[in-house]
Amino acid sequence: MAQHNELGIQGEKLAQEFLKNEGYQILETNWRFKKAEIDIIAQKDNILVVVEVKTRSSEHYGKPEIFVNKKKTKLLLEAVNQYIEQKNLDLEIRFDIISVILNQYRKDIEHIKDAYYWY
């Protein structure tokens, strides 16, 4: 497996652990619909939280969260709509990003709630 893929998997595991420690229930990981993949679907209280995890080994090219583009957000929206329909859910929805910097010297996790702004 490529090193960047392994880094991404480690970041997603850290993000899941972080969310559990914050009182979130993990409902799904790596949930797919067509070309979209939702890294984590979690719930806390009456909020369904759709989480995109971005992991980098450094901030040399910018913070990890800046790599979530409009195409990705559109795919996430389509996927979560399908998920809600399949599960027949009636919950408030929030879109978050968990930004992870992970290398031999650092393990930084930042949870950005309401990370997307819909126009």
Is residue 118 predicted with pLDDT exceeding 90?
no
Per-residue confidence (pLDDT) for residue 25, from 0 to 100: 98
Strands of the chain, DSSP E: 25-33, 36-44, 47-56, 92-102, 107-112
Q: Across the chain, what does the average pLDDT equal?
A: 88
> What would the pLDDT profile of 35-63 be if each residue is shown by its tens digit?
999 999 999 999 999 999 998 876 667 67
Q: Which domains does the chain have, with CATH numbers?
A: 3-112 (3.40.1350.10)
Residue 52 CA to residue 41 CA, distance in Å, equals 9
Is residue 76 predicted with pLDDT exceeding 80?
yes
Q: Which of 33, 49, 61, 53 is nearest to 109 (CA)?
A: 53
Q: pLDDT tier at 119 (50, 70, 90 boundaries)?
A: very low
Per-residue confidence (pLDDT) for residue 37, from 0 to 100: 93
Q: What mean pLDDT do residues 7-18 have?
A: 92
Per-residue confidence (pLDDT) for residue 56, from 0 to 100: 84
